[in-house]
């Protein structure tokens, strides 16, 4: 593409290897916005006159409109979105278009475009994330009294409210939103004006450009500015961890929707049938969520691997930042609304959750606490209840079916009031600590999240 010192044309294979227009074309709006701001800076610096700047801005806006209408023809020979737009502009308005690249490089130009892209997309993602939180809270409010077992090691542990389980994901998603907001704050620093790596002898007012483009500040080191992709890695980490949380939610829903659990029924709109087995109702949305998390993690590994061996400053390897970035952004933007829709439409089978939560062994820890509150050291109480559990299993009778004398054969501390423990509602109401699943505490949390997400 570049003439100058080169005496022969670029190989077709090299052209195919080096082109990025097939994917970076989607930066066009950010590229044009940055170029307009740069043209105004060149006007202030005396490089352009008012007529030239006006023709540049009008030409760029016309190109943007053509791209949005699908009427603009991108050329692979021009490598990337920047050169495609600049070449089209110059062909239309002449010498003024050729002046636009004064005092900038494609290095700081692409660094600007990618920051603008990330800033816009993080806002969209955060809004979709909040919608999913709202869906989880609303389902929790639909089933405020539903109880199910809480699990460790996928073994029944203790009873919890269904809403408390959903609120655990609301908390995870809130941390995800915080990470994305933190990333947006760190990336909102403007690199334009850094040139190829050492700025330019033609000085433009970078701070004025930053204000126009709504950046909080300008970068302070030109070498770092053109080679920094920390913000891409940080965003991909945030999206990767968000994907992990979505995958964990999906796994819970997949288990709960099985005949073995039967805790929830997913809507027909969010499940599929089998090509062979007519009775099947497969949780494909949840499974695809779980599967797509792999690509989110892979995209993070891709950018970290690209960056790890690069000397300062810009290297062409950095072209490879965009496809994993675009893919992760697109994947998350697809997943969040469909998961929110699936969660909102699911129904809870309260008969099944209640039956599972009625398992008397879920209250074993409460029995140990009963002994502790009567002076028995916890480790001793733990041992007593362990032996009591083994006896109950051997006898084929649950705790409520054992006599007081049988309880007292394991510890004389047991008294007639031990029977009050065998009530799930009592067990939940006793969990009064902040963050525990008492009905009052969970209701307060649901109300707090409703207000926060309003």
Which DSSP string corresponds to 234-262?
HHHHHHHHHHHHHHHHHHHHHHHTSTTT-
Question: Which residues participate in catalysis according to the annotation?
Answer: 153, 274
pTM summary value: 0.94
Measure the CA–CA gap between 348 and 162, rounded to whole angstroms. 9
Could you tell me if residue 324 is inside a domain? yes
The pLDDT score that the predictor gives to residue 4 is 66
> What is the pLDDT averaged over residues 69-75?
97
For residue 94, pLDDT beyond 60: yes
Statement: residue 2 has pLDDT above 60: no
What's the pLDDT score for residue 34? 98
Looking at the structure, tell me whether residues 38 and 95 fall in a common domain: yes
Mean pLDDT of 196-218: 97
Average pLDDT over residues 225-237: 98
Q: What are phi and psi of 161, to 5 degrees?
A: -75, 140
The residue among 332, 104, 103, 105 whose CA lies nearest residue 237 is 332
pLDDT per residue as tens digits for the range 170-204: 999 999 999 999 999 999 999 999 999 999 999 99
- Is 42 among the domain residues? yes
Q: Of 355, 375, 392, which residue constitutes the final position of a domain?
A: 355
Residues 132-171 have pLDDT tens digits of 999 999 999 999 999 999 999 999 999 999 999 999 999 9
* 38 and 148 part of one domain: no
Does residue 269 register a pLDDT over 80? yes
Asked whether residue 362 falls in the same domain as residue 351, the answer is: no
State pLDDT tens for residues 19-71: 999 999 999 999 999 999 999 999 999 999 999 999 999 999 999 999 999 99
State which residues form the domain around 66. Answer: 12-102
Greater model confidence, 258 or 3: 258
Determine the average pLDDT of the residues in 404-428: 94
Q: Is residue 3 part of a domain?
A: no
- Asked whether the CA dihedral 247, 251, 256, 259 is positive or negative, the reply is positive
pLDDT at 1 exceeding the cut of 60: no
* Contact yes or no for 194/161 (Cβ under 8 A): no
Same-domain pairing of 318 and 407: no
Tokens at residue 142, please?
Answer: 């639909």
Answer yes or no: do 232 and 94 share one domain. no
Residues 84 and 118 in one domain: no
Question: Three-class SS of residue 105?
Answer: coil
Same domain membership, residue 367 and residue 335: no
pLDDT tier at 274, thresholds 50, 70, 90: confident
Q: How far apart are CA 232 and CA 125, in angstroms?
A: 15
> SS3 for 193?
coil
The residue among 302, 332, 355 that closes a domain is: 355
Q: Pairing state of beta strands 264-265 and 189-190? A: unpaired
159 and 244 together in one domain: yes
For the chain, what is the mean pLDDT? Answer: 96
Quick check: 267 pLDDT over 60?
Answer: yes
Dihedral sign computed on CA atoms, order 113, 64, 123, 285: negative
Report the alpha-carbon distance of residue 141 to residue 144 in Å, rounded: 5
The model's confidence at residue 5, banded by pLDDT at 50, 70 and 90, is: low
Nearest to 373 by CA among 417, 406, 422: 417
Q: How far apart are CA 240 and CA 300, in angstroms?
A: 7
For CA atoms 423, 429, 431, 437, give the dihedral sign. Answer: positive
In terms of domains, do 242 and 161 share one? yes
The answer to whether position 91 is within a domain reads yes
Residue 192, domain member (yes or no): yes
- The CATH number linked to 390 is 1.10.40.30
Among residues 200, 184, 201, the alpha carbon closest in space to that of 192 is found at 200
- pLDDT tens digit string along 345-386? 999 999 999 999 999 999 999 999 999 999 999 999 999 999
Say if residue 132 is in the same domain as residue 255: yes
Of the chain, the percentage scoring pLDDT greater than 70 comes to 99
- Domain for residue 318, yes or no? yes
At a CB cut-off of 8 Å and minimum separation 6, what does 373 contact? none
For the ranges 234-238, 278-282, 316-320, which has the lowest average pLDDT?
A: 278-282
Rounded CA gap, 188 and 180, in Å?
12
The half-sphere exposure of 380 on its side-chain side, counting CA atoms within 13 A, is 11
Centre a 10 Å sphere on the Cβ of residue 353 and count the other Cβ atoms it contains: 22
pLDDT in tens, 99-134: 999 999 999 999 999 999 999 999 999 999 999 999
Question: Is the residue at 34 inside a domain?
Answer: yes
Q: Residue 375: which region, alpha, beta or left (left: phi > 0; alpha: psi -120 to 50)?
A: left
Is residue 431 pLDDT above 70, yes or no? yes
Q: Which of 59, 81, 102 represents a domain boundary (last residue)?
A: 102
Phi and psi at 95, nearest 5°, equal -60, -35
Separation between Cα atoms, residue 360 and residue 364, nearest integer Å:
8
CATH number, domain of 95, equals: 1.10.275.10
Same-domain status, 351 and 427 = no
Q: Could you tell me the CATH number of the domain that includes residue 241?
A: 1.20.200.10
**366: number of CA atoms within 13 Å, CB side?**
23
**Greatest Cα pair distance in the chain:** 100
- pLDDT of residue 443 exceeding 60: yes
Task: Please report whether residue 142 resides in a domain.
Answer: yes
Domains in the chain, number: 3
Peptide bond into 343 cis (omega under 30): no
pLDDT for the residue 12: 87
Looking at the fold, whether 225 and 348 belong to one and the same domain comes out as yes
């Amino acid at each position: 593409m570049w003439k100058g010192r080169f005496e022969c044309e670029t190989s077709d294979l090299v052209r195919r290897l080096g082109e990025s227009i097939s994917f970076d074309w989607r930066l066009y709006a950010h590229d044009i916005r940055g170029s307009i701001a740069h043209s105004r800076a060149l006007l202030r610096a005396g490089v352009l006159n008012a007529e030239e700047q006006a023709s540049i801005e009008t030409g760029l806006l016309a190109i943007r409109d053509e791209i949005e209408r699908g009427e603009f023809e991108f050329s692979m020979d021009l490598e990337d979105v920047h050169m495609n737009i600049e070449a089209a502009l110059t062909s239309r308005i002449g010498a003024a278009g050729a002046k636009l690249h004064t005092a900038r490089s494609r290095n700081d130009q692409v660094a600007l475009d990618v920051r603008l892209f990330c800033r816009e997309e993080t806002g969209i993602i955060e809004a979709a994330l909040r919608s999913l939180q709202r869906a989880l809270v609303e389902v929790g409010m639909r089933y405020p009294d539903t109880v199910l077992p809480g699990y460790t090691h996928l073994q029944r542990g203790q009873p919890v409210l269904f809403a408390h389980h959903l609120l655990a994901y609301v908390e995870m998603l809130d941390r995800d939103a915080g990470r994305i907001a933190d990333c947006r704050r760190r990336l909102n620093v403007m690199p334009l004006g850094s040139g190829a790596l050492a700025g330019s002898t033609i000085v433009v007012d970078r701070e004025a450009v930053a204000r126009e483009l709504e950046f909080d500040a300008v970068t302070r080191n030109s070498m770092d500015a053109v080679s920094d992709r920390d913000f891409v890695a940080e965003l991909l980490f945030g999206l990767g961890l968000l994907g992990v949380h979505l995958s964990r939610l999906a796994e819970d829903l997949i288990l709960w929707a099985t005949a073995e659990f039967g805790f929830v029924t997913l809507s027909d709109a969010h499940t599929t049938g089998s090509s062979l087995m007519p009775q099947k109702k497969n949780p494909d949305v949840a499974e695809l969520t779980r599967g797509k998390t792999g690509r989110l993690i892979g995209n993070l590994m891709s950018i970290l691997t690209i960056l790890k061996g690069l000397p300062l400053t810009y290297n062409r390897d950095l072209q490879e930042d965009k496809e994993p970035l675009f893919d992760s952004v697109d994947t998350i933007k697809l997943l969040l609304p469909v998961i929110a829709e699936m969660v909102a439409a699911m129904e809870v089978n309260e008969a099944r959750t209640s039956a599972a939560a009625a398992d008397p062994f879920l209250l074993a820890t409460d029995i140990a606490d009963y002994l502790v509150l009567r002076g028995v050291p916890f480790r001793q109480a733990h041992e007593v209840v362990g032996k009591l559990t083994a006896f109950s299993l051997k006898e084929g009778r649950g705790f409520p079916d054992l006599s007081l004398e049988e309880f007292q054969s394991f510890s004389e501390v047991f008294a007639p009031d031990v029977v009050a423990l065998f009530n799930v509602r009592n067990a939940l109401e006793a969990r009064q600590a902040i963050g525990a699943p008492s009905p009052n505490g969970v209701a307060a949390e649901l109300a707090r999240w409703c207000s926060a997400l309003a």
